[in-house]
Structure 1
Amino acid sequence: MNNLFRASKFSLVPAILGGVFMLSSTIGMAADFTMKIGHLESDKQSRHVHLLKVAELVKERTNGAVEFQIFPSGQLGNQREMTEGVQLGALEATVAPAAFLGGFNPAISILDIPFLLPQGDEAAQKVRGGKFGEELCASFTSKGLTCIGLWPNGRKNFTSNKPMGSIDDFVDQKFRVMDSNILIEQFNALGASAIALPFGELYTALQTGVVDGEENPLDTIQRMKFYEVQDYLVLSEHGAMEDVILFNPAAWSSLPDEYKSAITGAFEEVIPELIGHKAASVASALEEIKASDINIRNLSDEEKAAFREKMYPAAKAAFIERTGETGEKLIAVYESEYDAAVQ
């Protein structure tokens, strides 16, 4: 079974996009199928770099019949606008952070659960690219979206202005989170509290003590200069940051099967290089962070297991409360896949 997933077929609907600001990449001249793909990252970041590689592979493997036009940096709107555009057929595809999609599909919020994916890249891909990933993608079908796969985009770590030398040090600390009951419960399980704040307010909230800490990937912590107003960093890698590859159902079903296979194969093929590119970005960010006065600590494997033992059950319960029977079934698939991957 292909690790990027088979999609449902729908009737063709015209896909017309107005008000395009700037074309970032056009591959080919006379394609039979032209597909615009919008996303939020800059043209230097991992997602965009590897979307261009996918476009090149798809062009080559379809003999120029399929052309991807890639629009970075929110040129086609914010993520909600792009996702709605894909639903309505105004945009053929988007590669979206899973954290931005819970309003469209509550099932995707399973990715908010801490320590969801195994630590190693190979083990994580077994879960991401196996039956769990397939079932998670299938949950988008009823939402008017065709998901063809998941892409890794890093992992979150903890920072705080208070010590985090042990799991007990989290008690009574206040952490900023995105607006997610699952993320709130993960901190409640540690005896900490979580406050949902807009991302744009986070630097000032850390600086003024509205919250003690936050969770983000290292390259975000570096880019947003959070380390300037934080005293402690714990390299926990507790939260998976995943991208979801979404196509308009009509646009996807209009493609011949061999072109679909070429596209899903290209997205899958670049994953190891995508992981490497992201790792290099994270390593560079860590070097800049190390040059500051922040105290940095690595969680040991034993500590990660202890954090997971506390955090996972509470976050899982919050997910199931939100998603009901659908969530229970998805959790059952996930736990089976996780156990197999870490053996």
Structure 2
Amino acid sequence: MFPLNSSLSFRRLAASVVVLAGLSVPLAAQDYVARIGHLESMQQSRHIHLEQVAELVSERTGGAVAFEIFPQGQLGNQREMTEAVQLGTLEATVSPAAFLGGFNPVVSILDIPYLLPADDAKAQALRDGPFGQALLDSFASRGVVGVALWPNGRKNFTSNKPLDSMADFADQKFRVMDSRILIEQFGALGASAVALPFGELYTSLQTGVVDGQENPLDTILRMKFHEVQKHLVVSDHGAMEDVVLFNPTWWNDLPQEHRDVIVAAFAEVIPALTAHKAEAVKAALTEIETSGIDVRKVSEEEAAELRAAMYAPSAAAYVERAGAEGQALLDLYEEQLSAQ
């Protein structure tokens, strides 16, 4: 459980409410209003489809439930927003799962490379099935309600040294988020992993502190990492998932029919969200390719080799961190995956 603090004060929330950038639906005589904070810009997939959810919810509850969407960290950084949802000073947030591992170690299962199948339908079946529900349920003991899992792209490798085969990873240094699972991922390839703040990554690549990094293609383009990297491997090895979290008091005060509407709306927009993200990734790759960086896409055979090398040590690191609860979720995942 996150230690609660008062960093996200009422005055800060009140000031942010005045801004109302990206307000999703006109406010009328609502019975229930939820402020939803997140980190992405108004032009990115998460925000666009949050607005669609807000419209569906307002329409299907007859205006009784309204969502106010606050993008770009207007209500604080992700830790502050998650704590605020837990405390009840914010009704909801949509957070990258990678930011929640310190809050709920169970969710770090999503750090395991090649966890989700490349096929979008099979990946969604995992989200919709027992695995996805158990992952959402794991948040209840942490003082929040997990309502939905949203896809938000996949990670790829870049480096200033060649990455022509799996053997080329050996002895290279890659920046990672502070995750034992990701450290083991690179260790399995003979590479070393260095945990660095995201804001230091561009300079670290430029100066050779690290050789490479992993991120979605649209992030690589937006942060201009391709300007300080020579090689890109489109590997799609790491799932970038969002978790929709609500404050339990606010959520439990809703009539059941309104809760059902909200859950259904978040699920309904996933195909459009996936398509929008795919277009953004496609456009990013086209622009990156024109920059002159060496780009190659891994084959299905190479992806299988990478998974075979990285999955087991990463999964072991996950279980060591998440304990019996994590092992139970991993078992459920493997059972559901084998049944596909």
Q: TM-score range by the shorter chain?
A: over 0.9
> Which amino acid in the other structure matches residue 121 of structure 2?
E
In the aligned structure 1, how far is the partner of 2:322 from the partner of 2:24? 40
> Which amino acid in the other structure matches residue 160 of structure 2?
N
Report the counterpart of residue 286 of structure 1 in structure 2. 285
Give the aligned length. Answer: 327
Report the counterpart of residue 217 of structure 1 in structure 2. 216
TM-score w.r.t. structure 1 length? 0.94
Q: Structure 1 residue 51 and structure 2 residue 37: aligned?
A: no
In the aligned structure 2, how far is the partner of 1:74 from the partner of 1:339? 39
In the aligned structure 2, how far is the partner of 1:231 from the partner of 1:289? 11
What SS does the aligned partner of 2:238 have?
strand
Q: Structure 1 residue 18 and structure 2 residue 17: aligned?
A: no
In the aligned structure 2, how far is the partner of 1:126 from the partner of 1:244? 16
Report the counterpart of residue 164 of structure 2 in structure 1. 165
Q: Structure 1 residue 259 and structure 2 residue 255: aligned?
A: no
Report the counterpart of residue 307 of structure 1 in structure 2. 306
Offset of residue 19 of structure 1: 3.2
Report the counterpart of residue 33 of structure 1 in structure 2. 32
> Which amino acid in the other structure matches residue 220 of structure 1?
T
In the aligned structure 1, how far is the partner of 2:15 from the partner of 2:170? 50
TM-score w.r.t. structure 2 length? 0.95
Q: Any residues of structure 2 matched to 1:236-251 within 5 Å, and which?
A: 236-251=235-250
C-alpha distance after superposition, 1:64-122 (max 9, x if no partner): 00000000000000001100010010000000000111111011111100000000110
What SS does the aligned partner of 1:102 have?
coil
Asked if structure 1 preserves the Cα contact closer than 8 Å seen for 2:155 and 2:215, the reply is yes
In the aligned structure 2, how far is the partner of 1:52 from the partner of 1:324? 37
> Which amino acid in the other structure matches residue 239 of structure 2?
A
Report the counterpart of residue 88 of structure 2 in structure 1. 89
> Which amino acid in the other structure matches residue 234 of structure 2?
L
Report the counterpart of residue 152 of structure 1 in structure 2. 151
In the aligned structure 1, how far is the partner of 2:24 from the partner of 2:167? 53
In the aligned structure 1, how far is the partner of 2:69 from the partner of 2:291? 36
In the aligned structure 1, how far is the partner of 2:128 from the partner of 2:185? 25
> Which amino acid in the other structure matches residue 97 of structure 2?
A
Asked if structure 1 preserves the Cα contact closer than 8 Å seen for 2:157 and 2:214, the reply is yes
Report the counterpart of residue 336 of structure 1 in structure 2. 335
In the aligned structure 1, how far is the partner of 2:181 from the partner of 2:102? 14
Give unpaired runs (5+ residues) of structure 2.
1-9
In the aligned structure 2, how far is the partner of 1:338 from the partner of 1:304? 17
In the aligned structure 2, how far is the partner of 1:23 from the partner of 1:336? 44
Q: Any residues of structure 2 matched to 1:69-148 within 5 Å, and which?
A: 69-148=68-147
Report the counterpart of residue 7 of structure 2 in structure 1. none
Judged with a 3 Å threshold, the aligned counterparts in structure 2 of structure 1 residues 169 and 58 are, in CA distance, closer, same or farther, namely: same
Report the counterpart of residue 175 of structure 1 in structure 2. 174
Give unpaired runs (5+ residues) of structure 1.
1-15
Offset of residue 323 of structure 1: 1.1
> Which amino acid in the other structure matches residue 268 of structure 2?
E
C-alpha distance after superposition, 1:197-220 (max 9, x if no partner): 011111111111111100000000
> Which amino acid in the other structure matches residue 153 of structure 1?
N
What SS does the aligned partner of 2:261 have?
helix
In the aligned structure 1, how far is the partner of 2:197 from the partner of 2:283? 26
What SS does the aligned partner of 2:19 have?
coil
In the aligned structure 1, how far is the partner of 2:44 from the partner of 2:142? 29
What SS does the aligned partner of 2:14 have?
coil
In the aligned structure 1, how far is the partner of 2:117 from the partner of 2:336? 10
Considering only aligned residues, what root-mean-square deviation do their CA atoms show, in Å? 1.1
> Which amino acid in the other structure matches residue 37 of structure 1?
I
In the aligned structure 2, how far is the partner of 1:129 from the partner of 1:239? 19
> Which amino acid in the other structure matches residue 254 of structure 2?
L
Offset of residue 293 of structure 1: 1.4
Report the counterpart of residue 188 of structure 1 in structure 2. 187
Judged with a 3 Å threshold, the aligned counterparts in structure 2 of structure 1 residues 50 and 26 are, in CA distance, closer, same or farther, namely: closer
Q: Which has the higher contact order (CA 8 A, sep 6+)?
A: 1
> Which amino acid in the other structure matches residue 206 of structure 2?
Q
Report the counterpart of residue 196 of structure 2 in structure 1. 197
Report the counterpart of residue 3 of structure 1 in structure 2. none
C-alpha distance after superposition, 1:243-285 (max 9, x if no partner): 0000000000011111011100000000000001101111111
> Which amino acid in the other structure matches residue 19 of structure 2?
M
What SS does the aligned partner of 2:339 have?
helix
Offset of residue 26 of structure 1: 4.8
In the aligned structure 1, how far is the partner of 2:126 from the partner of 2:161? 34
Asked if structure 1 preserves the Cα contact closer than 8 Å seen for 2:154 and 2:238, the reply is yes
**Which aligned segments of 4 or more residues in structure 1 are displaced greater than 3 angstroms?**
16-19
Report the counterpart of residue 11 of structure 1 in structure 2. none
In the aligned structure 2, how far is the partner of 1:179 from the partner of 1:218? 21
In the aligned structure 2, how far is the partner of 1:154 from the partner of 1:256? 33
Identity score, percent = 63
